[in-house]
């Protein structure tokens, strides 16, 4: 019985004060790390959300139309005027389909409120009077405008 | 017998729990709640902008213009645009065939504006003049009087018929009669009430050449209808032998 006391005392290892300090230090360190990580993560999440929302907003508010179409007298060039009447600038790809043959002009920028003429080359197979041209203007934000034109 | 006092252990666990809770609350207030506020603000901006665009789209649908072209001389044409819609319209371009004329004319609702004269001296015999106007909101309006053809030094349109346009700045009630000499007359238009806009009346006619068509435009004066000065107007259809297929008549009301 007399030997029990000293054994327990030896098993304590550190005093209660030091143990508290060590525990508190561990909690504070881990807590600070978690806090720091949480702040970074929430900032990234918030930024992604804002960017996503603004991108969606631009996609939803994008407005453009094919205003006029004509072709050169030799039929080698199709001229298409596109009007961006929305509030955001846009980049468009233009496709012109004549009897299953697709010609295109890619990556044309159109500022808000401006009219831009895009030429599509038919150098190899010129348009002839009466040719039906199906025109599709595809914006990089996935909006489309269509136009049907008969060559003059 | 010895017992072990476990109270100090409980106290130590309490300190860590409190600190952990404080850190959790700190994270909540300094990271999560600001993040949610920013997200909410982005949503608010999104909804506001979408509403603005929806209003613009509605206004675009409300635009209603009447466009007609008429010769301003042998080599000139004029374009008249009347705003019949419920919103003011800004014209940004007037297209004459493949060329456009930029402008920035505001046409309040219920009013009209003339554009031009536009010179079309490069037209050759048989060439067509196609006119359309474009609004700031992206609408395109074509001439209701159809295309004009430059034909034997004059102007004509593709349809066989007669179109009467009464300039009506003072308002009034009108009757329009198509006469074939003294043989018969046919009422092609009558106002149902006093009108405040220009009156446009069109009628197809027989293709028989050399019919002696005339148009008589009458205006209501009290209970009587009186022919306007200059009316009846000879409008012979000599198409295709010696004249255009479509006669445009402009008269002041």
**Together in a domain, A74 and A134:** yes
Contact list in A for residue B50 (CB cut-off 8 A) is 57, 60-61
B244, B175: one domain: yes
pLDDT digits (tens, 9 = 90+) for B13-33: 577 788 888 888 988 998 899
Q: Are residues B119 and B171 in the same domain?
A: no
Q: How confident is the model at residue A1 (pLDDT cuts 50, 70, 90)?
A: very low
Q: Which of A90-94, A141-145, B85-89, B243-247 has the lowest mean pLDDT?
A: B243-247
Using CA atoms, how far apart are residues B26 and A43, in angstroms rounded to an integer? 15
- Domain boundary (A60, A75, A98) is at A60
A51 and A113 within one domain: no
Which pLDDT score, from 0 to 100, does residue B156 have? 58
pLDDT the model gives residue A20:
81
Distance in Å, alpha carbon of A124 to nearest chain B alpha carbon: 24
pLDDT of A18-40, one tens digit each? 888 888 888 889 888 988 999 99
Which residue range(s) make up the domain with A23? Answer: 4-60
Closest chain A C-alpha to B42 CA, distance in angstroms: 6
Return the pLDDT at B243: 53
Percent of chain A with pLDDT over 90: 63
Residue A140 dihedral angles phi and psi, to the nearest 5°:
-70, -10
- Report the complex ipTM: 0.77
Same domain for B103 and B165: no
Would the pTM count as exceeding 0.80?
Answer: no
**Paired strand residues for B171:** none
Torsion over CA: B223, B224, B229, B230 (sign): positive
What are the tens digits of pLDDT across the range B133-152?
999 999 999 887 666 666 55
Full residue range of the structural domain in which residue B98 is found: 64-145
Per-residue pLDDT tens digits for A39-75: 999 999 999 999 999 999 999 999 999 999 999 989 8
Is the peptide bond preceding residue B160 cis, with omega within 30 degrees of 0?
A: no
Give the pLDDT confidence score for residue B155 in this predicted structure: 59
Structure tokens at B153: 């030094």
| CATH number of the domain encompassing residue A103 | 2.60.40.10
Rounded distance, CA B178 to CA B233, Å?
A: 10
Judge whether residue B8 has pLDDT over 60. Answer: no
Q: How many domains does chain A have?
A: 2
Indicate whether A116 and A132 sit together in one domain: yes
What is the spatial distance between Cα B171 and Cα B158, in angstroms, rounded to a whole number?
A: 31
A70 and A123 within one domain: yes
Mean pLDDT, residues B144-163 taken together: 63
Q: What is the per-residue pLDDT for A2?
A: 46
- Residue B228 gets which letter from DSSP? P
- Per CB-CB distance under 8 Å, the chain A contacts of B138 are 63-65, 83, 85
The residue in chain B having the minimum alpha-carbon distance to the alpha carbon of residue A43 is: B35
Considering the domain architecture, whether residues B103 and B127 belong to the same structural domain is answered as yes
Given an 8 Å threshold on Cβ–Cβ distance, is A24 in contact with B16?
yes
């Amino acid at each position: 019985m007399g030997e029990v006391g000293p054994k327990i005392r030896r098993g304590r290892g550190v005093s209660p004060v030091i143990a508290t300090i060590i525990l508190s230090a561990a909690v504070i360190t881990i807590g600070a790390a978690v806090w720091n990580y949480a702040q970074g993560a929430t900032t990234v999440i918030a930024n992604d959300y804002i960017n996503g929302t603004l991108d969606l907003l631009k996609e939803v508010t994008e407005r453009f139309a094919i205003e006029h179409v004509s072709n050169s007298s030799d039929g080698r060039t199709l001229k298409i005027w596109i009007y961006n009447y929305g509030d955001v600038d846009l980049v468009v790809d233009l496709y012109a389909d004549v009897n299953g043959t697709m010609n295109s002009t890619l990556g044309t920028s159109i500022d808000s409120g401006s009219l831009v003429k895009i030429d599509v080359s038919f150098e190899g197979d010129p348009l002839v009077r009466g040719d039906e041209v199906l025109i599709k203007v595809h914006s990089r934000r996935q909006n489309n405008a269509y136009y049907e034109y008969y060559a003059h | 017998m010895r017992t072990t006092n476990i109270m100090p252990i409980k106290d130590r666990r309490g300190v860590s729990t409190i600190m952990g809770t404080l850190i959790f609350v700190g994270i909540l207030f300094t990271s999560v709640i600001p993040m949610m506020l920013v997200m909410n603000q982005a949503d608010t901006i999104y909804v506001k902008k979408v509403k603005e665009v929806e209003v613009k789209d509605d206004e675009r649908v409300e635009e209603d213009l009447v466009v007609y072209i008429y010769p301003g001389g042998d080599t000139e044409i004029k374009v008249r645009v009347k705003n019949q819609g419920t919103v003011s319209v800004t014209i940004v371009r007037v297209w004459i065939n493949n060329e456009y004329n930029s402008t920035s004319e505001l046409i309040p609702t219920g009013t009209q504006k003339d554009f031009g004269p536009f010179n079309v001296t490069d037209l050759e015999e048989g060439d067509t003049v196609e006119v359309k106007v474009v609004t700031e909101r992206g609408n395109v309006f074509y001439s209701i009087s159809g295309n004009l053809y430059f034909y034997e030094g004059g102007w004509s349109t593709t349809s066989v018929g007669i179109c009467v346009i009464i300039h009506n700045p003072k308002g009034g009630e009108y009757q329009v009669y198509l006469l074939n000499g003294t043989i018969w007359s046919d009422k092609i238009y009558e106002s149902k009430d006093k009108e405040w806009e220009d009156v446009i009346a069109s009628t197809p006619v027989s293709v028989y050449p050399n019919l002696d068509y005339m148009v008589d435009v009458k205006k209501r004066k009290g209970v009587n209808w009186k022919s306007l000065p200059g009316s009846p107007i000879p409008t012979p259809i000599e198409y295709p032998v010696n004249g255009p297929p479509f006669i445009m008549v402009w008269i002041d009301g």
